[in-house]
Structure 1
């Protein structure tokens, strides 16, 4: 089983992994420093105090006339004052600097004595006249002194430990944000705006990964460009022969007056028109998907709707369809959207054109402009046959055509409109009318 620094689950994070591994290490170092300081200062204090006890005892044994000062409980227990006991050769206690302490006489040398629940350090020596001098010191004082010295030595480590952990957290957070920023820039890439990720201020360990992403993005950009060029070239090349076929069909109709051939010529002309419209829509689609599309701008929605309707008014007159705009009564403030002008124009043109083509002659197409508390929407309402409810989710697929809609469509109009809406940051939805047959195409600004 392979071991990983980053486990699965919530701990699979650089920041959490650094904290998971380094914080326990810092705590272990602090604990080891405290233990080493305690051990060192315990030996140091014990050695220093033992030497003083030995010198005091030997001095008092050599000079019997010298009498140590009397001590009290505070000096002995709090300040570590020495308690001196003098014993006669026959074993009787002659004098004591703190009579309350009744530690029995020990053999010569150093001893650790437990007396009445307290620990004592004792040193015993014998003088030339046979007297025995016993010097005692509180063991709890020695422990306290060693702890104070060890604490003073460990204090900088204890103080710097939280600071080091905080700095580590900040560094890990900065690294995590840098990686997240790279991820956000990579997520912002699409087939229309493929740009290489910047490698400035990228850690050397992450730079190869970013460079690999950039290489992949370059290949994707080249692939999309090749695809668009192919569609554009194919559409351009097809326009001329299709136009020539249309002219030849028209010329042949004049030469052939047979009634039996008239129906076949009608089907042939319809096929040529459909192929011509398909080529036009392929060109429009390839231009929309080309890199370097218009950037977002403030667009007057009412003016844009009038421009689209004026462009398609000829088709409406040709099919005897009542095309009208329903909006706020003038005078009113301009209704604006922030989006790419080209995408919005393509979206409106396709929706209005679709409504005009699929509405029977003599029908009605209304373009409604709605505004409610800053929320802007446009609805294209027709009196056509509508779309079966089960097929509504599929109508945005490329080249999908609703069965029974006739030979004139290409299956690209709604796909182009949906792509334009997404680039413009708008929401496009379709629903059938409830009051009668027909379709409502709604465009609305997203929050």
Structure 2
């Protein structure tokens, strides 16, 4: 059976607290019990020595007429000893207090005596003239004194017990916090910018584990780099022949007469155009993954929106689609902490995607607004929208909604989502409520950057 189980016992802190706390508790209770027993015996031995010294002194003195009369309060409350003197025939001759039974012990030495509900400790010693001197001390006083002394000895143990548990809990929490921080550092790794975890504050016991994880991260980074190089090389190698085929097709277009051959020629042109667009998007995606984000930069949102719309206005005119920008008041100076290339990549792909799937004569509105202090960009079209069962998969690479119009590559939304994340924005899709169409919403996950100065 392993040390780590399920639930709380599946963590290092749970194991430490689960095993060490009961151990501390048992050790503390045993120590307290042993201390109580030892102190009780020590107090009893000390009181016995005092009784012996007193009894021997009274026996040697021989003058029993000078015994002072005691009271019950002094005997039971303060532990004053009672002295009894017996004649040779066992009859009580003198007693300093009459509240205790007059019973001579059969032999000299220390004895325990029961007098009803009261216990007594008795020391008997022979005196001159055949007489016997007995010194008696209240058992309740002895118990009270022993309990007080033992309690004083046990009290530090009982005080240190919760303190030691608190220290243990703090140490276990610090260890857990260190391990969680290592886990958070691993979770914050970016797919396209993998870095080794620092080892300066890692406990020695788990340093080999973190070192192995760093080795795995390095291999994973190399694998991603190799994948990006392959995509770049393949896209570059394909770009030239596809461009050559497109040029040859353009040269042949004028030599074909109308008819079935011309129709098949247009299909061939459409396929070549789609292949060219796929290669361009593969290159765009590869560039995004190979460039690390630069902290500290910012880009003006409305300016990039206008540039994206200007770049795609020809496609909108070709499809007779009304493409426009609707900017809310106070949004002209909104900025985002990213590069212009990343924001343009997200905007271009979303707007182009809306233009390609909106029927001719439709409308595509690009909205810029502030929602709860956060920058929001919405691309609203009048296309068919996306069924709910496919909405979660459209961000997968090369996935195309079944039944969608030909010409797409299945990479546009994946590229837009990756670029949006690099800009600190979340991309969500939902169908319109007022009519058919899709709303692609880019919302910043943090407040806007300080406004950029106007030119």
TM-score (norm 1): 0.91
Offset of 1:162 from its aligned partner?
A: 2.4
Any conservation in 1 of the 2:324–2:366 contact (CA below 8 Å)? yes
8 Å Cα contact 2:92-2:102 kept in structure 1 = no
Moved more, 188-197 or 384-393: 384-393
Q: CA deviation at 1:390?
A: 4.6
Q: Secondary structure at the match of 1:75?
A: helix
**Given that residues 336 and 423 in structure 2 are in contact (C-alpha distance below 8 angstroms), is that contact kept between their aligned partners in structure 1?**
no
- Are 1:212 and 2:212 an aligned pair? yes
CA displacement, residues 190-240 of structure 1 (integer Å, 9 cap, x when unaligned): 312311111112111121221122111111111111111111111011101
- 1:39 is matched with which residue? 37
Q: Unpaired segments of 5 or more residues in structure 2? A: 447-455
| Aligned 8 A contact 2:331 2:370 in 1 | no
2:323 is aligned to 323
Compute the displacement of 1:98 (Å): 1.3
1:131-167 CA-to-partner distances (Å, cap 9, x unmatched) read 1111111122222222233233333323322222222
Task: Give 1:276's aligned residue.
Answer: 276
Q: Does 1:230 align with 2:230?
A: yes
**Structure 1 residue 130, shift from structure 2 partner:** 1.3
Partner of 1:96: 95
- Give the Cα–Cα distance (whole angstroms) in 1 for the partners of residues 400 and 338 of structure 2: 29
Partner residue in 1 for 2:365:
366
The residue number in structure 2 matching 1:441 is: 440
Following TM superposition, by how much is the alpha carbon of 1:373 offset from its aligned partner in structure 2, in angstroms?
A: 4.1
The change in CA–CA distance for 1:306 and 1:56 in structure 2 (over 3 A counts) is: same
8 Å CA contact retained: 1:294, 1:342: no
Deviates more, 1:384-393 or 1:283-292: 384-393
Aligned pairs for 1:24-423 (under 5 A) are 24-66=22-64, 67-108=66-107, 109-257=109-257, 259-295=259-295, 297-328=297-328, 334-388=333-387, 390-423=389-422
Question: Alpha carbons of 1:123 and 1:402: their partners in 2 closer, same or farther (altered >3 Å)?
Answer: closer
Q: Per the alignment, do residues 140 and 175 of structure 1 end up closer, same or farther by CA in structure 2, a change over 3 Å counting?
A: same
Which whole-Å CA distance do the structure 1 matches of 2:372 and 2:93 have between them?
A: 105
Question: Whole-Å Cα distance in 2 between the matches of residues 20 and 415 of structure 1?
Answer: 47
**Are the equivalent residues in 2 in contact too, given 1:429–1:441 (CA < 8 A)?**
yes
Distance 1:320 1:43, change over 3 A: closer
User: For the residues of structure 2 that align with 1:69 and 1:180, how far apart are their CA atoms?
Assistant: 76
Q: Which residue of the other structure, out of 9, 13, 16, is the alignment partner of 1:15? A: 13
What residue is the counterpart of 2:452 in the other structure? none
* Structure-2 separation of matches of 1:373 and 1:207: 44
Of 48-57 and 385-394, more deviation after overlay is shown by 385-394
Q: In structure 1, the residue corresponding to 2:430 is in which secondary structure?
A: strand
Report if the CA contact (8 A) 1:312-1:353 is conserved: yes
* Partner SS for 1:401: coil
Question: How big is each residue's C-alpha offset from its partner over 1:103-146, in whole Å with a ceiling of 9 and x where there is no partner?
Answer: 42221132111113111111222223111111111122222222
Mapped to 2, the partners of 1:358 and 1:316 lie a distance apart of 11
Stretch deviating more after TM superposition (437-446 or 303-312): 437-446
Change (3 A) 1:394 1:90: closer
Give SS of 1:197's match. coil
Aligned residues of 2:120 and 2:137 also touching (Cα < 8 A): yes
1:382 CA displacement = 2.7
Q: Is the 8 A contact 2:242 2:272 kept in 1?
A: yes
Deviates more, 1:259-268 or 1:295-304: 295-304
Structure 1 runs of 4+ with >6 Å offset? none
Measured in 1, the distance between the counterparts of 2:236 and 2:80 equals: 108
2:387 and 2:50 mapped to 1: Cα distance? 105
Contact kept? 2:293, 2:338, Cα under 8 Å: no
Structure 1 residue 408 displacement after superposition: 2.0
8 Å Cα contact 1:271-1:407 kept in structure 2: no
Measured after TM superposition, the shift of residue 306 of structure 1 is 0.7
> Contact (CA 8 Å) 2:295, 2:337: kept in 1 or not?
no
Deviation at 1:275, TM superposition (A): 0.5
Name the SS for the 2:122 alignment partner. Answer: strand
CA contact (8 A) 1:294 1:341 kept: no
Q: In terms of mean alpha carbon deviation, does 316-325 or 121-130 score higher?
A: 316-325
Alpha-carbon spacing, 1:223–1:332, altered in 2? closer, same or farther (3 Å) = closer
3-state SS, counterpart of residue 11 of structure 1: helix
RMSD, aligned α-carbons = 2.5
Q: Identify if the C-alpha distance between structure 1 residues 203 and 154 changes in structure 2 by more than 3 Å, giving closer, same or farther.
A: same
Q: How many residues align?
A: 444
1:232–1:283 CA contact under 8 A, matched in 2: yes
Residue in 1 that maps onto 2:3:
5
CA contact (8 A) 2:368 2:378 kept: yes
Q: Secondary structure at the match of 2:442?
A: strand
